[in-house]
Amino acid sequence: MKRHMPDRRQILQATLGMLSTGLASTIGRTQEPTPRGVPSSQSPVGEPRATDGDSRSQPDWEEQLTLTVGPAKADIVGTDDKALQAAIDSVARLGGGTVRIQPGLYTLRNTLHIPSRLRLLGSGAETVITKIASEPVALAADSDWYDQEITLKNAESFRIGDGVVLVVKNTNTGEIDVIKRTIVARSGRRLKLNEGLRKNVWLSASPTCAAQFPLLTSERTGDVTIEQLTLDGDREHNVPLNGNHSGCVFLQDCSRVTLRQIEARNYNGDGISFQVCHDVLVENCHSHDHAGLCLHPGSGSQRPVIRGCRLERSAIGLFWCWGVRFGIAEGNRISDNSNCGISIGHNDTDNVMRDNEITGSGRVGILFRDDKGGRDFWPHRTTIDRNRVINTGDGIAIDIQGRPQDVRIVGNELRQTLAPPKNTGIRIGAEVGRIELANNIIDGFAIPIDDRRQPQ
């Protein structure tokens, strides 16, 4: 029997018919894009199982490993960094869990290193972590950038395991190099460090070494929670250390970190500082009486949330560093800081500050910095919403410098009760771009709004 074979015209007509039918079925229906590598039919996991290598979908376990540390009757007994770090490392080795620090005074000779998937939990005001005093000691011999040892003029106060900071002037750039290391061995005044120097430490640059370090630090980690601790930096007996390197809490290159109900006080630098860290939540913390900044969301940090905190009696309360984006600061009390209540600047875009109370700032309540150096380095699309800025020393309640665009200042209360009225409510620099001012109460200022832009 001879079979009928369709010709090319029939095949083409049939193909076009199928394509038109498929197209018609999608008209009027919006399709959500499917994430790369995820099947379109994938539904949320209702009852996840622990699957090797799957960190995205995990059960909510009722019980996980918890170790206690304390002066007595604890899994690990001790009140120094060695006892605390031993508990932290033990929990980390088994995949994560909680280290509970019992009430007591804990004195550190080195920073506590917090790994991923760890919760560090104290007892609030009853759990106090502080550090030994530090005094800079001069070096007695040159060390090159490839060396792993230094020689001090006097090494009597140092022990193996101490955290130290070397400070030296860079002979090429003239800038100050800060080198953080740990002492791992010694022979008299010669100290071996845990890593090579990677900077020249020459006597011609007057280098010093001091027992200075963050109380808590976490670097290149994720899913860390630190709660209910009192951290005292003993500012009076410690040398200063810049907040780009240290603080009561110092985080570097981390993701998904929660800091909750922490009191950070008396650090000769910053209280809480994090650099290039994403999705950090700082909630109900009290940071106060530091030489530097109360709270320092550092360079490149994305989506920080600062909520319900008290930031007091330091140089600046809240300092948005460089390139901090999509952050929220809400419901905070920021008071009696000698320079600014809040400072925002270089590439800090798309941030929101709302429902904060800023009182007693020495110079400026909220400062938009003019961080020059590039073509477009200003804090665009900043929203200042429903804040109260009260009694700003001899300065300005809100000072907008540089060239920010699309700034919203809406529903704020700016008041000056000091007599005689001599300050400015809002100062707008000559090069500021689009700005929305609406529904603000400005009372008690000699100049409510000083707009220095040229009329369009």
Residues 239 and 329 in one domain: yes
Q: Which two tokens stand for residue 405?
A: 């665009």
Both 305 and 251 in one domain: the answer is yes
Report yes or no: 108 and 83 within 8 Å, Cβ to Cβ.
Answer: no
pLDDT of residue 375: 82
Q: What is the pLDDT of residues 96-127, one digit of tens each?
A: 999 999 999 999 999 999 999 999 999 999 99
Q: Please check whether residues 154 and 269 belong to one and the same domain.
A: no
Pick from 372, 368, 352: which is nearest to 304 by CA? 352
* Integer Cα distance of 327 and 348 in angstroms: 9
Residue 20 has a pLDDT of: 41
Q: Give domain status of residue 15, yes or no.
A: no
Torsion sign over Cα 157, 159, 164, 168: positive
Domain match, 365 and 436 both:
yes
Any domain includes 11? no
Given a cut of 70, the residues of the chain with pLDDT beneath it are 1-43, 55, 456
Instruction: Give residue 441's domain range.
Output: 214-451
How many structural domains comprise the chain? Answer: 2
Residue matched to tokens 């530090």: 134
Structure confidence at residue 456 (pLDDT): 63
Question: Which CATH number characterizes residue 198's domain?
Answer: 2.40.30
pLDDT at 272: 98
CATH number for position 414: 2.160.20.10
283/228 same-domain check = yes
User: 255, 232 in Cβ contact below 8 A?
Assistant: no
Last residue within a domain, chosen from 193, 210, 227: 210
Last residue of a domain, one of 194, 210, 226: 210
Query: Could you tell me if residue 191 is inside a domain?
Result: yes
**Residue 379 falls within a domain, yes or no?**
yes
pTM, two decimals, is: 0.87
Q: Is residue 65 part of a domain?
A: no
Tell me what pLDDT residue 389 has: 98
Convert the pLDDT of each residue in 126-135 to its tens digit.
999 999 999 9
Residues 338, 202 within the same domain: no
Q: How far are the Cα atoms of 20, 257, 261, 333, 369 from residue 125, in angstroms, in the given order?
A: 71, 21, 10, 20, 36
Q: In this predicted structure, what is the pLDDT of residue 297?
A: 98
Same structural domain, 257 and 169: no
- My answer on whether 144 and 240 are in the same domain is no
pLDDT of residue 356: 98
Task: Say yes or no: 304 and 290 in one domain.
Answer: yes
Q: Is residue 88 part of a domain?
A: no
Q: Is residue 154 part of a domain?
A: yes
